[in-house]
Amino acid sequence: MNDILLIGGGGHCKSVIDTLENADEFNIIGILDQPEKIGSKVNGIEIIGIDEDLPSYFEQGVQYAFITIGSVGNVSFRKSLYEYAKTIGYRFPTIIDKSAIISSNTELHEGCFIGKGAILNTNVSIGINSIINTGTIIEHDCTIGEFCHIAPGSTLSGSVQVGHHTHIGTNSTIIQNINIGHNSLIGAGSVVINNIENHKKAYGNPCKVVDSH
Ligand SMILES: CC(=O)SCCNC(=O)CCNC(=O)[C@H](O)C(C)(C)COP(=O)(O)OP(=O)(O)OC[C@H]1O[C@@H](n2cnc3c(N)ncnc32)[C@H](O)[C@@H]1OP(=O)(O)O
């Protein structure tokens, strides 16, 4: 088994640990977080250092890392940590919970997390470092950009396009052929029936743009 380092010890980290521990693919050597948290544990896994320790663990032979910080609408921290770790040379696996159902011709890019019970139908593409959270349904021919978070229980109907860095709130429903832009935030429980442009905050049923984001 390859060693892996987790970056960020919050709630999302617990989900990733649970999935990894049920998979027997990686040996989690520890978590990096804030200095004051060193020595404490997340789901039994110790916080062993801070982000600045990434080069030293790489020199010690750890090749794999995973960003375990969640996000609701602001991915800049997740993204900067990913880019920093990539510069050092870390590799980012795709982590898929064993309960997820994924079509064989789905394209998953590095660093994605596919949570419990998610269903990804045929011809789906998920960009790097995106989170497809618990119980989400991504229907045929959908494309999800980089660093997105499709929050638990959402349903994306056929041929939906989601731009980079966009958050789809918990339990949202998006009808077929909708385009949602980059850096947008869709509130929880939204029913999206019209395209949403880049950099918009939108929510409700029907989902309406309420602000820039
Ligand atoms: C495993 C996990 O936990 S992953 C985490 C997943 N979490 C999510 O997806 C949460 C997504 N976040 C939301 O839906 C939030 O409510 C946000 C981001 C839309 C809030 O946006 P804000 O602009 O900060 O809204 P704020 O809380 O100030 O509320 C403003 C108004 O919008 C309403 N509102 C807020 N969110 C929603 C929503 N999702 N749907 C409908 N109305 C909403 C509020 O009721 C309020 O109405 P009022 O002015 O009549 O009182």
State the distance from the centre of ligand 1 to the C-alpha of 203, rounded, in angstroms: 7
User: Is residue 84 a contact partner of residue 66, using CB atoms and an 8 Å limit?
Assistant: no
What pLDDT, in 10s, does the model give residues 22-58? 998 999 999 999 999 999 999 999 999 999 999 999 9
For the segment 117-169, what is each residue's pLDDT rounded down to a tens digit?
Answer: 999 999 999 999 999 999 999 999 999 999 999 999 999 999 999 999 999 99
Backbone angles phi, psi at 91, to 5 degrees: -105, 145
How far is it, in rounded angstroms, from Cα 137 to Cα 139?
6
211 alpha carbon – ligand 1 mean position (Å): 12
Spatial separation of the C-alpha atoms in residues 115 and 137, rounded to whole Å: 11
Tens digit of pLDDT for each residue in 75-88? 999 999 999 999 99
- HSE-up of 78 (CA within 13 Å, CB side)? 27
For the chain, the residue count is 213
CB atoms within 10 A of CB 8: 23
- Residue 4's nearest CA partner among 113, 149, 125 is 113
ipTM of the complex: 0.98
| Ligand 1 contact, 152 CB (< 6 A) | yes
CA of 201 to the centre of ligand 1 (A): 10
Helices vs. strands in the chain: H and E counts, helices first? 3, 24
pTM above 0.95? Answer: yes
Residue 134 CA: nearest ligand 1 atom is: 1
